[in-house]
């Protein structure tokens, strides 16, 4: 019940102005990053191959570079389908403190104020989270290949664990610090993982998946307050 109630409360606040602001920032920066990565990839191809290539028998041909550029575009589009959500989640996590604050302002108005997370700390956590998410999802492709019928369940389980761990930590450490958040997380790991899977399932749905970082931060803020109220 804690998970469902927390999710429904988060869903009911999805129109909050601060929620929309964080969504736009996260998605905008994600697109900018993917475009920058593709531009760098394209530059590398052109630098290595050049406009003309000499092939055995055929001699000099000018279409190989163009073919590689088109192939690289297709490759990046396919890759972005898998990387868009992890990257968006990581980048958006820099701004999720604002989502948690919006939740607390509406549903827990009696709480004392918390210090804002310094930008340097938020950036460090974001880079670490981004690295873990991308590495884990790329390594998961090996499992997908060998366990194809279970690929979707592996995706949900893996990303559910990672998202739950990240968002609960973010919500909890605002109030109890990093060590306190780690202790709470270990005590309620199954609840956190189950809630993370609830966040991970819509990752398979285009456009809807971009809302997950916002809903995740809001949901886990409610979960944090629910589990601490039980103590």
Mention every residue, 6+ apart, whose C-beta is less than 8 A from residue 157: 197, 200
Between the alpha carbon of residue 185 and those of residues 129, 191, 224, the distances in Å are: 16, 9, 9
CB 102 within 8 A of CB 19: yes
> Per-residue pLDDT tens for 8-20?
999 889 888 888 8
DSSP, collapsed to helix, strand or coil, labels residue 111 as coil
Tokens in use for 9?
């409360």
pLDDT, position 61: 40
pLDDT, position 206: 67
In 93-229, alpha helices (H):
96-107, 119-146, 151-187, 189-200, 212-229
pLDDT, position 45: 58
pLDDT of residue 55 exceeding 50: no
Please give the mean pLDDT across all residues of the chain: 77
> Per-residue pLDDT tens for 154-202?
888 988 898 888 889 888 888 888 889 889 999 999 999 999 998 888 8
DSSP, collapsed to helix, strand or coil, labels residue 61 as strand
Distance, in Å, from the CA atom of 192 to the CA atom of 136, rounded to the nearest integer, reads 19
pLDDT, position 184: 92
């Amino acid at each position: 019940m804690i998970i469902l109630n927390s999710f429904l409360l988060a869903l009911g606040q999805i129109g909050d102005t601060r929620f929309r602001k964080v969504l736009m920032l996260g998605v905008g920066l994600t697109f900018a990053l993917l475009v920058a990565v593709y531009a760098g990839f394209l530059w590398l191809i052109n630098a290595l191959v050049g406009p003309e290539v000499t092939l055995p028998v055929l001699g000099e041909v000018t279409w190989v570079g163009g073919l590689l550029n088109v192939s690289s575009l297709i490759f990046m589009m396919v890759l972005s389908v898998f990387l868009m959500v992890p990257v968006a989640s990581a980048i958006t996590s820099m701004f999720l403190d604002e989502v948690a604050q919006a939740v607390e302002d509406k549903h827990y108005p009696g709480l004392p104020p918390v210090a804002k997370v310094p930008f340097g700390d938020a950036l460090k956590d974001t880079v670490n989270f981004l690295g873990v998410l991308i590495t884990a999802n790329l390594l998961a492709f090996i499992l997908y290949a060998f366990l194809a019928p279970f690929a979707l369940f592996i995706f949900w389980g893996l990303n559910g664990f990672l998202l739950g761990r990240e968002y609960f930590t973010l919500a909890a450490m605002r109030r109890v610090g990093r060590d306190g958040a780690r202790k709470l997380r270990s005590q309620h790991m199954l609840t956190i993982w189950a809630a993370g899977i609830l966040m991970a399932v819509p990752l398979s749905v285009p456009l809807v998946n971009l809302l997950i970082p916002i809903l995740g931060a809001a949901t886990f803020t409610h979960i944090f307050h629910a589990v601490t109220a039980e103590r």
